[in-house]
Amino acid sequence: MDYEWVICFQLRPMSALLHRIFDLYVKAFSGLPRKVWLLALVLLVNRSGAMVVAFLSVYLISEQGYAPIKAGWVMAAFGAGGVLGNYFGGILNDRYGSWHIQLYSMIGAGILNILLGQVSSFGALCVLAFCISLVADAFRPANRAAIAIYAPPERLTQAYGLQRMAVNLGFSIGPALGGWLIFNYGFTLMFWGDGATFLLAAVVFYFALPADETAKPLVARPTKTNNKTGETLDSNLLAPADPAEPAEVSTLPAHHQRWLLVFVLANVSIILLFFQLFSTFPVYLKEGGYDERLIGLLFTFSGILIVALEMPLLYIVERRYQPVAVMMTGSMLIIASYLILPVVIPIGYLALNLMIMLLTVGEIFYMPFTNTYVARHAPPERRGEYLGLLSASYSAAFVLGPVIGFGVADSYGYGVATYVCCGVALLGWLLLSRVNILRERGQPTTPPSTRPQPSLK
């Protein structure tokens, strides 16, 4: 009896701990509107075929025989298309609504991914890589702007976290499947698989989320009536009565906001390092003796960690700390993970998994808050434009990352390239520390739009 009592005594604290963890997960996932969950489903389907982005650099060097610097330029073309796709996607989103942009973006990207596997010349690869990213990345600001409408303000970071969780759950499947296909059947099926999941996601989106208020401009133009003629006028064509009216400052174009430009520059510098994960990182590991299956499993491990940890961590952190402080912590963890990469590659696969764990935790603390910070401080009538500029900064990092990474690696090796990118990211970390100060010195933003919000069901 005494032995049974001891076991019961030991199990009670463990049972209480498990109950608290379960309760935390319930709170982290509760309160989100149905449409936010449906968008997450679309992203899950889409990213479950994410193979090309993970293995394109390996394909170009190992299969097509291009030098690392040429592979870097193809990846840079991929990123350049993303810069334009994100920026113009954000502008078009504000003018026409996000629904059509999301749908046609997925259809176009699916077709172009299949075509990419059918060409081999350097010029054609660059052009198609550019077009894929141009079309596919128009989806991002439209998706984020739709989330900002579907989710209540107090659940915004949680909603963005759910979308990232869906992306990373899909991404835990895609590269592992891609690595297995490449190892057993070669690279051809990789392009078909990626393209097919884009098209399948478009079908799911069309039927699960029929055209709603996001198929129209996200902020309706208020109208005014001319007292003399009775003519209804578009208020966007009218000058404000008071030149010093706060709304005039609040609706400045994104590229006129100093705090946003500094934030974008900081983000480019930090994400430039993170995106080595899709350019020099797999080639570095391949050079170190790791095959595509093991490389794909590292991506899977990262995705599983995000699915398991991101939502509860966001639930805890968002309520206790300021966004910029969390982003600075996350970006420093990203930098630290890459600093140890040249050390852990010779040690073995377990050490690589520890590096990925550190990188993933940094990603969790950094990336969701970039969207939340900009969405909260952007004027509603320009939210798509502001988020588009932020999204463009991710694509700019995708341009610069492989050019710098492969360029340095071609002359000095991948270890030196990793440290150079860490130095650039550290400068971005210093810029990030100034963003909140610059924003608070500027004019306050306008109150939220009075446009009726959509149903949350």
pLDDT digits (tens, 9 = 90+) for 86-105: 778 877 877 777 888 888 89
Q: Residue 394 pLDDT more than 60?
A: yes
Q: So what's the pLDDT on residue 247?
A: 39
The pLDDT value given to residue 163: 83
Give the mean pLDDT of 123-141.
88
- What integer best gives the mean pLDDT of the chain? 78
pLDDT bracket for residue 270 (50, 70, 90)? very high
pLDDT of 24: 62
> Per residue in 190-219, pLDDT tens?
888 888 889 999 999 999 888 776 667 655
Q: CA nearest 328: which of 393, 394, 373?
A: 373
pLDDT: is 250 or 381 the higher one?
381
Is this structure's pTM higher than 0.75?
Answer: no
The per-residue pLDDT for 17 is 52
pLDDT of residue 199: 93
Q: Look at residue 117 and tell me if it is in a domain.
A: yes
Residue 442: the pLDDT is: 65
pLDDT tens digits, one per residue of 223-232: 444 444 444 4
Higher pLDDT, 325 or 455: 325
- pLDDT, position 332: 96
Q: Which of 157, 195, 91 is nearest to 326 (CA)?
A: 157
Q: Does residue 20 sit within a domain?
A: no
For the ranges 169-173, 343-347, 394-398, the maximum mean pLDDT occurs at 343-347
Compute φ and ψ for 223, nearest 5 degrees.
Answer: -120, 155
Residue 22 belongs to a domain: no
- Return the minimum-mean-pLDDT range out of 9-13, 106-110, 122-126, 440-444: 9-13
Q: Is residue 306 part of a domain?
A: yes
**pLDDT value at 418 more than 90:** yes
Give me the domain span that covers residue 173. Answer: 29-221+254-441
Average pLDDT over residues 130-134: 90
Mind listing the pLDDT tens digit for each residue in 9-58?
Answer: 454 554 555 556 666 666 666 678 888 888 888 888 888 777 777 778 88
pLDDT at 234: 40
> Which range, of 92-106, 113-127, 216-230, 298-312, averages the lowest pLDDT?
216-230
- Residue 99 counted as domain residue: yes
Q: Of 457 and 269, which is predicted with more confidence?
A: 269
Question: In this predicted model, which residue has the larger pLDDT, 251 or 409?
Answer: 409
pLDDT of residue 430: 95
pLDDT score of 202 = 92
**Within a domain: 168:** yes
Percent of the chain at pLDDT exceeding 70: 81
Asked if the model's pLDDT at residue 333 lies above 60, the reply is yes
Q: Report the number of distinct structural domains present in the chain.
A: 1
pLDDT at 284 over 80: yes
> Model confidence over 339-393: pLDDT tens digits?
999 999 999 889 999 999 999 999 989 988 888 888 787 777 777 777 778 878 8
Is 234 domain-assigned?
no
pLDDT of residue 380: 72
The CATH number assigned to the domain holding 34 equals 1.20.1250.20
